[in-house]
Amino acid sequence: MIRPDLDPQLARETIDTIRLLSADAVEQAASGHPGTPMEAAPIGYLLFSRHLRYSPRNPQWPGRDRFILSCGHASMLLYSLLHLSGYELPLEELKNFRQLGSPTAGHPEFGHLPGIETTTGPLGQGFAVGVGMAMGARLLAERVDEGLFDYRIYALCSDGDLMEGVSAEAASLAGHLGLGNLVYLYLDNHITIEGDTSLAFSEEVATRFLAYGWQIERVEGENLAEIDAAIERAKLDARPSLIIARTHIGQGAPNKQDTADAHGAPLGPEELRLTKAALGRDPQASFVVPETVRAHMAEAEARGEQLERTWRSELERLQDEDPERFDRWLQAAEGNFPAGWDKHLPVFDPAAGAMATRKASGLALNALARQLPFLLGGSADLAPSNNTELKGEASFTPQHSGRNIHFGVREHAMGAVLNGLAHTPGLLPFGGTFLIFSDYMRPPMRLAALMGISPIYVFTHDSIGLGEDGPTHQPIEQLAGLRAVANLTVIRPCDANETVEAWRQAILNRRGPTALVLCRQSLPVLDRAQFPPAAELGRGGYVLTPEKGKLQAILIASGSEVHLALEACEQLTQQGLGVRVVSLPSWELFEAQPADYRNGVLPPDCQVRVAIEAAASFGWERYVGNKGAVIAMSGFGASAPGGQLMKHFGFTAENIVTKVQEHLHL
């Protein structure tokens, strides 16, 4: 039975308005997906009018519920709901759907409009990001205050979302952790772009999610009472909930309902007119919002203001009781760091011996964690190898929200969960795996860069130098691939102290994600009394050792190969040649420097340049020019001790010397 405070006639009028706004926008754009917004309109209506806690006038209120449209192709559903609910989204922008410069993009883009919680489009990503948001909410509830952070994460999912592997990884983790603040609604419409889902998808979804540990409900997608009651029950369940709604794509379209034609193309002028007539609307009118509907949905503004006012009043009361605890979170939520947050970072003594950069990273990370209480993360089951464990901190388990997260062997979900944690106010998330397995998490890394959020990736075992595990574990093209991602800062430090500085830069970078690329093998710690300070890493590249006399050649390297460049430079200098070594740990940081600085490090008139990196050569031409050389990998690695492999593939000081001599025609 429908609750007495829900007017069936007004609800139906509002739902039809959502459907037709969506269909009109897709038709006007001559591009888009009308079918899913039309089928999902009842669910969207119930969420935005009855269940979601949100404040349209302050969309970033931290205590709000989060809504994720995981099936991002249904973006007009979200835009219609945001417009009707009082967000800053005028009707004119619905008419500009998918047009250049309009915030109503083809898929929801984080930062383009208030009310868009994360960028969705690649299916399954929104589903998995929501798991990270739910984990973030639980951690804030436990570490700051349960009453303030009891918000829920709602998501709307499609068949495509559930087919993608990332959703399986994330659902498994969510069920294991018992994330009862997740309420997901699945549009079970039996249709994909190619036709009926039976072409490729016949599994029993409910059984799979029961096995994951989720609570399952089944409802009819047009039955408001069933949907409403199922959502209410989901709120009370300690498990994550999946509500399976049997829906009909293109609901209301006389000839295209339940067909693949309603999925990825406009209904067409005639079908749209017939749909409007079938719904009792003027077939000739477009973008119509009845005043009764506008007034009804506008109630969200006053309701949201009251919810936020109550929340902020409670925050002020709790602040008075325990100012230190709440001030720590507020400072972090505003993007500020405690005074002296980086004063206790380790400084490594060359006399203490060689050290792998992955080990130095772990020591730096733990020093930072002691000063930054909302720094949290873990590894895809590789913490002992990645050195990502926070010593003395508890694990994130079903019973306790600690700062050590065990992602399991789920790299793809880890990347997406990190995005959800990064969306949580105040949190600084990191995640680790081997560099070779960064391939598994590229989609969420790209989305983090696109959104401008700042998870930190700890990628170890960075080259053939890892040795006996062989070519399946030895990364070759991964560095070039990561460097190709706009707004992703990649840093490959050459020693322990550069690694510390790499962590400093990663924490300071709040404009996008950072990838720290670290080695397994031990490397000498450079004597900074002899070489420039490691803080020069912040410039991305710097002259590590200057030439003696006239500059004749430049050796450029990153990571472990910097030490080979230094050996080669010493031999060439003894031959009377003017050679400098440039440490270039981060192309992105280097390219951000003024041209005068970059030209000072790599003078244009010195065209004999040799780059050395145990990875693919792709991209190095920008630094070596057409008269230089790159000592790099042209194939895959092999299984043997790391030192043997480096020699076998030409990563020796002697080979570098030979290359320079050849280019100087000596």
Q: Which residues are catalytic?
A: 411
Q: Which two tokens stand for residue 517?
A: 């690329």
CA distances from 317 to 137, 148, 322, 331 (A): 20, 11, 9, 17
DSSP state of 435: G
Four-residue CA torsion sign, 259, 262, 267, 273: positive
> How many C-beta atoms surround the C-beta of residue 422 within 10 A?
25
Write out the two tokens for 493. 């430090």
Q: Which amino acid is at 203?
A: E
The CA distance from 523 to 495, in Å, is 6
Q: Contact, 118 vs 420, CB < 8 A?
A: yes
d(C-alpha 338, C-alpha 332), whole Å: 8
Q: How long is the chain?
A: 666
- Residue 88, classed as helix, strand or coil, is coil
Q: Print the SS3 string covering 280-337.
A: CCCCCCCCCCCHHHHHHHHHHHHHHHHHHHHHHHHHHHHHHHCHHHHHHHHHHHCCCC
The angle at the Cα of 255, spanning 253 to 258, to the nearest 5 degrees, equals: 75
- Distance from CA of residue 568 to its chain's centroid? 40
SS3 369: helix
Tokens matching residue 395: 């694990």
Angle at 66 between CA 65 and CA 67, to 5 degrees: 125
d(CA 501, CA 361): 10
Closest to 543 in 3D by CA, of 601, 603, 588? 601
Beta strand spans in 127-249 (E): 153-157, 182-188, 191-192, 195-196, 215-220, 241-246
The torsion angles phi and psi of 135, rounded to 5 degrees, stand at -65, -40
Residue type for 419, please? N
Contact between 134 and 179 under an 8 Å Cβ cutoff? The reply is yes
Distance CA 279, CA 292 (A): 16
Q: Three-state secondary structure along 382-432? A: CHHHHCCCCCCCCEECCCCECCEEECCCCHHHHHHHHHHHHCCCCCEEEEE
Residue 508 CB coordination number (10 Å): 14
Rounded Cα–Cα distance for residues 374 and 326 (Å)? 12
The CA-atom distances, in angstroms, between 616 and each of 128, 610, 620 are: 31, 14, 9
